[in-house]
Structure 1
Amino acid sequence: MRRMSFRTRLVIVIAGVFIAAGAALLTVQYLVVQQLFASAISTTAASCVPMTSVSPLTDGTSVTDGADLSGAAPFTDSSGLLYSTTSTGCGYFAETADVVDFQLAAPMQTLSLQAVEGAVLQQSTFLADEVGGGLLLWSVVVLVGFTGVAAAIAFWLARRSLGRIGEVTATARDISEHDLGRRLDLPGPDDEIKELGDTIDDMLDRLQSAFTAQDRFVANASHELRTPLTTTRTALEIPLEQGTVPAELQPNMQRALRATEQSERLITALLALARSRAGLEQVEPVEVSTLIEAEIDDLDSEEIVVHSDLRDLTVEGNTVLLARAVRNLLENGIRHNAPGGELWVRCRRERGRAVIEVENTGTPLTPATVALLAEPFYRGDASRTSTGPDGTGLGLAIVQSVAKTHEGELRLRARKGGGLIASLVLPL
């Protein structure tokens, strides 16, 4: 299962916090409202008192007219008119109630206080339940709606805040040792993210200076060493060719000459490696099949059988560097082959890219060994070197450097039954 991105987790956390806070707020609000309703109901029941109405009874008034006066308590005023009182329900008074201009002649008729309180309590409870239920429903609806709004706002904020970090990550991933001149140059406000980008740019400045100094040292040292090595080789070859070296000294002279030649090959490889890492100064169309055929013709394959299957392909690149890479692949296939072995050279188009593949027989290789073959000065086990001259340990490292310079790659995998399959992949 793919791990969620930091942006997604940030949105979920923000939305979760909003939901938790909103739910807590609505819960407290609902409980407070319920408590207020309960307090209001208690106050209503406690302050309810019976109420009566006063009605005049004149001559000709029927007890059936108007209100039911069957239970009325009669009384008279100074005018001699007859009045009656009737209970009309519940009344609420902040203080005691007075009946103005009337002098009650008899006590008022009252209803049962328990009955009145029960009716008021029932109506108030029903009202509280209705209001509370509606409040809870709409609170949930509002919470859900605002949760969606909060999630959208959180996603926008996360995208806006982390988008610049994504730019830093993408650019830093694309920068390699071959294009250390690139910089992030992160725009935007002067905040922590821009400070991070500026710090990475400073680090790239230091890395570029270090790589440049290293390549310059290798190139200068290699160039300075070639002249004395050439002089030494010449001084050894001339006496040997003229036969002026005593027989007892010839083995030592031959050994010194081979060491000198090996040193020259190493210096040449170091120069090629430094040149391949310096980048492409000149790019031109290169006929891959023609280049490979020329290198095969110059190849000293000895008893190795070479098979070729070449397609016509053209890539953009540096002819000298690509020729060097192909030569190193072929020499590696010859040098680490088995006596009387075979070598297959192929060139094909694969997914819009040119693939130069060299396959050779040889001893079985472990995945751990294959992973280290492109490391500089790594030769592997002694059993890999079965034919051909000693290598420098830079052959495949140079191929890999040339591939990266051309925005390609070097793929290595062990061959079933023994040997190696090396593929140089280049963009078309």
Structure 2
Amino acid sequence: MLRGGTVVRRFTVLYASGFLGSGIVLLALTRLMSGVRLSAPTPPSTGVPGDPSGLAAAREEIRDLRTRLADVHGQQEHRWVVASLVALVVMAGLSLLLGRLLAGRVLRPLRLITATTRRISAENLHERLAVTGPADEVKELADTVDGLLERLEASFVAQRRFVGNASHELRTPLATMRASLDVAVAKPEPAAQTLALADRLRAELDRVDQLLDGFLLLARAEHGASADRTLLSLGELAREALGARGPGVAAKDLDLRLEVRTAVRTRGSAALLSRLVQNLVDNAIAHNEEGGWIRVAVDGDGSESRLVVETGGHVLDQGEVDRLGRPFERLGTARTGSEESSGLGLSIVAAIVAAHGGRLVLRARPEGGLRVAVTLPSAAPEGVAVRAGATA
């Protein structure tokens, strides 16, 4: 029992065993010290010395006294045993209670350290345990954790700063390349090879530009949601994203269904949440089959707002789907168009969801295709159905 269970249980058993052992030793010592029997005093003779009848009566009275003394002593022994058992039972209960109280008192700083450490994440690495008290082992542990958090914060800040600065600095040579291409194409009667090369380079530069935008947005999302949070409707964001991507939907002849069951709202960065919805819709369109379908559903309750984007297609492996929230992770060639993806779309979605205190669940549908569910905290929900079963 000492090896299993929680630390509180182990400390409780140890303290209780110590208290109970002390009680048993105390009762044993009490028993030993009170176990000396005194011999019964010889009663005075009632007869005349030398009188046989008086001597016999005295002896009979002595035997009677000894019998009664033995009975009294036996009763005392019985009462002592019962009292000792009752005392041991009471002592056992008190030992467990005192052991539990002492264990809780001793481990209280550790529970505070655990709760605070569990609350600290990449979004609030600036927080510290800041345990006060004597310079004991607990404070040394807390100071060690604070030092680790400080090093992690510095590492995260340096990483985000590097991504942001590198992305900004790379835009200058990209702009120079675009200008050089424009100058080459603007010359009188450019060669056909020059035009073809310019178109190809522009396409590659567009991809690099999109990749840099993804890096910047990912760095911003991982840094945490911005302070300018507003009240937003996921249904409206979904309508805007689907409306702007009508040509892409029509190009693949996709069956698009938009379902807004309740007018739920959430609070967050308009730019980040809009990009979240756009990335999910773009991902659903790009990695879909010709003549496939997309279902976008928005619902929620008083505590949560949910956005679900489902697509049909081939049966996917759940192990590969679980990795899609990481940067540059893609599925195999079973998903159409995966070779054209930067691999940042769903990782940006995951970072935005985490920055807004939500959850992202990626599931491979048993019938084929992918189901992406985003859950965000609700804010000022309205319990009125706005649109149900609408087809965009």
- TM band (smaller chain): 0.7 to 0.9
Name structure 1 gaps, 5 residues minimum: 54-68, 74-84, 89-108
Q: How far does the alpha carbon of each residue in 1:38-91 deviate from its partner, in whole angstroms, 9 at most, with x for none?
A: xx45xx5xx85x8545xxxxxxxxxxxxxxx7xx56xxxxxxxxxxx6589xxx
Aligned partners of 1:376 and 1:324: how far apart in 2?
A: 16
Aligned partners of 1:243 and 1:339: how far apart in 2?
A: 42
The equivalent of 1:392 in structure 2 is: 342
Q: 1:139 to 1:243 in 2, by over 3 A?
A: farther
TM-score of the superposed pair, with normalisation by structure 1: 0.76
How far residue 275 of structure 1 moved from its aligned partner, in angstroms, is: 1.0
- The answer to which of 21-30 and 177-186 deviates more is 21-30
The equivalent of 1:179 in structure 2 is: 124
The equivalent of 2:11 in structure 1 is: 10
Q: 1:350 to 1:416 in 2, by over 3 A?
A: farther
Aligned partners of 1:203 and 1:187: how far apart in 2?
A: 18
The equivalent of 2:365 in structure 1 is: 415
How far residue 360 of structure 1 moved from its aligned partner, in angstroms, is: 1.0
Aligned partners of 1:347 and 1:427: how far apart in 2?
A: 13
The reply to whether residue 382 of structure 1 matches residue 383 of structure 2 is no
The equivalent of 1:271 in structure 2 is: 216
Aligned partners of 1:87 and 1:266: how far apart in 2?
A: 127
Contact 1:30 1:136 in 2 (8 A): no
Aligned partners of 1:212 and 1:417: how far apart in 2?
A: 43
SS at match of 1:383: coil
- The answer to which of 408-417 and 18-27 deviates more is 18-27
Aligned partners of 2:58 and 2:22: how far apart in 1?
A: 45
Q: 1:51 to 1:290 in 2, by over 3 A?
A: closer
How far residue 207 of structure 1 moved from its aligned partner, in angstroms, is: 0.8
Aligned partners of 1:369 and 1:243: how far apart in 2?
A: 52
The equivalent of 2:310 in structure 1 is: 359
SS at match of 1:126: helix
Aligned partners of 1:52 and 1:306: how far apart in 2?
A: 121
Aligned partners of 2:52 and 2:275: how far apart in 1?
A: 118
Contact 1:334 1:387 in 2 (8 A): no
SS at match of 1:149: helix
The reply to whether residue 286 of structure 1 matches residue 235 of structure 2 is no
Match of 2:258 among 289, 308, 320: 308
The equivalent of 2:27 in structure 1 is: 26
Q: How far does the alpha carbon of each residue in 1:140-169 deviate from its partner, in whole angstroms, 9 at most, with x for none?
A: 222333333333322222222222222211
Aligned partners of 2:7 and 2:185: how far apart in 1?
A: 72
Specify the code of the residue in structure 2 equivalent to 1:12.
Answer: V
Q: 1:423 to 1:234 in 2, by over 3 A?
A: farther
SS at match of 2:122: coil
How far residue 132 of structure 1 moved from its aligned partner, in angstroms, is: 1.5
Q: State how many pairs are aligned.
A: 369
TM-score of the superposed pair, with normalisation by structure 2: 0.83
Aligned partners of 1:348 and 1:12: how far apart in 2?
A: 50
Query: In the TM superposition, what are the counterparts of 1:227-246 in structure 2 within 5 Å?
Result: 227-236=172-181, 239=184, 246=191
Contact 1:286 1:319 in 2 (8 A): yes
Name structure 2 gaps, 5 residues minimum: 379-392
Aligned partners of 1:355 and 1:398: how far apart in 2?
A: 18
Match of 2:273 among 299, 311, 322: 322
Aligned partners of 1:209 and 1:313: how far apart in 2?
A: 38
Aligned partners of 1:327 and 1:27: how far apart in 2?
A: 79
| RMSD of Structure 2 on Structure 1 (CA) | 3.0
The equivalent of 1:61 in structure 2 is: none
Contact 1:287 1:314 in 2 (8 A): yes
How far residue 401 of structure 1 moved from its aligned partner, in angstroms, is: 0.9
How far residue 387 of structure 1 moved from its aligned partner, in angstroms, is: 3.5
Aligned partners of 2:179 and 2:297: how far apart in 1?
A: 39
Aligned partners of 1:382 and 1:244: how far apart in 2?
A: 41
The equivalent of 2:382 in structure 1 is: none
Higher strand share: 1
How far residue 232 of structure 1 moved from its aligned partner, in angstroms, is: 2.1
- Structure showing greater radius of gyration is 1
Higher helix share: 2
How far residue 246 of structure 1 moved from its aligned partner, in angstroms, is: 3.9
Query: In the TM superposition, what are the counterparts of 1:69-88 in structure 2 within 5 Å?
Result: 72=48
Contact 1:33 1:132 in 2 (8 A): no
Aligned partners of 2:330 and 2:280: how far apart in 1?
A: 14
The equivalent of 1:150 in structure 2 is: 95
How far residue 247 of structure 1 moved from its aligned partner, in angstroms, is: 4.2
The reply to whether residue 135 of structure 1 matches residue 136 of structure 2 is no
Contact 1:237 1:257 in 2 (8 A): no
The equivalent of 2:386 in structure 1 is: none
Q: 1:214 to 1:244 in 2, by over 3 A?
A: farther
